[in-house]
Amino acid sequence: MDQTGPITIVWAIAAVVTVCLGPSIIFKLTRLPLDRETIRGILAEGAIKKAATMGLILLFLWQAKESLGDLGLASENLGQGLLIGLPAGVGILIVNALLSNVLLPRVLPSRWRGEGEPTFLKEHLKKPLRLLMLIGFSWWAAGFVEELERAFLITRIGSLFGTAVALIVTSVFFGARHWYQGKASAAISTSVSGFLFGTAWLMAGRNLIAAIVAHATLDSLAMLLLYLMWRQEPVSA
């Protein structure tokens, strides 16, 4: 999006607002009786919202006569994406772990911190087959869709305010959206991780595969480590 005419500005703002708010509105309109205290409810809600996010992004790309390739999703980017994404994912995981487990617990009041992983998630991560299911879901929902959304939002916001501002704004937005996972601690650590995912995408020449692989690597390793920590504990019936 190189043009900065009034129509382009309006469409950029409309795209940002719609992609940010639309999926939650669409989910509420479905009125499905899902229980967010169960893994099934969380996965179903996540699948609906992520599918809506993908659909809205594809719609706005079509309107702008763009494609996923314009966001860096192309077969020729695969090699570079793997070379950058794998080590980036490991590095971001280390940064995230230090923030969540070392730095933030020392500086944030207890009321601003979450209470750890939900019990039902812990029980599922202790089961190998369900662990694989959750990892697979995270590859699509977090690795692919979230990084697609991040790249899309950075391009749209960046066309109005510049790439640096867009990177910061999207990072804060993604962090705020993860508040439920652990209050300010989760929001801050997710904002930092999001900033680093966005930076990886930009430094790789807007190679979306690099960001996708980095995010998928982080989530996979994080869940695998939790599994190794918890597998010796008894599983609830």
| Residue 236 within any structural domain of the chain | no
- Inter-CA distances, 117 with 37, 114, 159, 222, Å: 12, 8, 38, 12
Three-state DSSP state, 206: coil
| Residue 170 within any structural domain of the chain | yes
Give the structural domain span for 168: 6-230
| Residue 102 within any structural domain of the chain | yes
| Residue 31 within any structural domain of the chain | yes
| Residue 69 within any structural domain of the chain | yes
- Inter-CA distances, 153 with 157, 185, 199, Å: 6, 24, 14
Q: Which helix (H) or strand (E) holds 203?
A: helix 183-203
How many Å apart are CA 173 and CA 234, to the nearest integer?
Answer: 38
How many Å apart are CA 179 and CA 119, to the nearest integer?
Answer: 18
Cα angle 88, 60, 68; round to 5: 40
| Residue 1 within any structural domain of the chain | no
- In which band, very low, low, confident or very high, does the pLDDT at 99 lie, cut at 50, 70 and 90? very high
Q: What is the pLDDT of residue 109?
A: 85
| Residue 118 within any structural domain of the chain | yes
pLDDT digits (tens, 9 = 90+) for 28-80: 998 888 877 677 888 899 999 999 999 999 999 999 999 999 999 999 999 99
Please give the structure tokens belonging to residue 126.
Answer: 């202790």
How many Å apart are CA 223 and CA 124, to the nearest integer?
Answer: 11
pLDDT digits (tens, 9 = 90+) for 115-162: 555 555 677 777 888 889 899 999 999 999 999 999 999 999 999 999
Closest CA to 71 of 19, 128, 147, 126: 147
| Residue 74 within any structural domain of the chain | yes
Q: Mean pLDDT in the chain?
A: 89
**Structural domain count, the chain:** 1
Alpha-carbon Rg for the chain, nearest whole angstrom, is: 18
How many Å apart are CA 80 and CA 91, to the nearest integer?
Answer: 17
pTM: 0.91
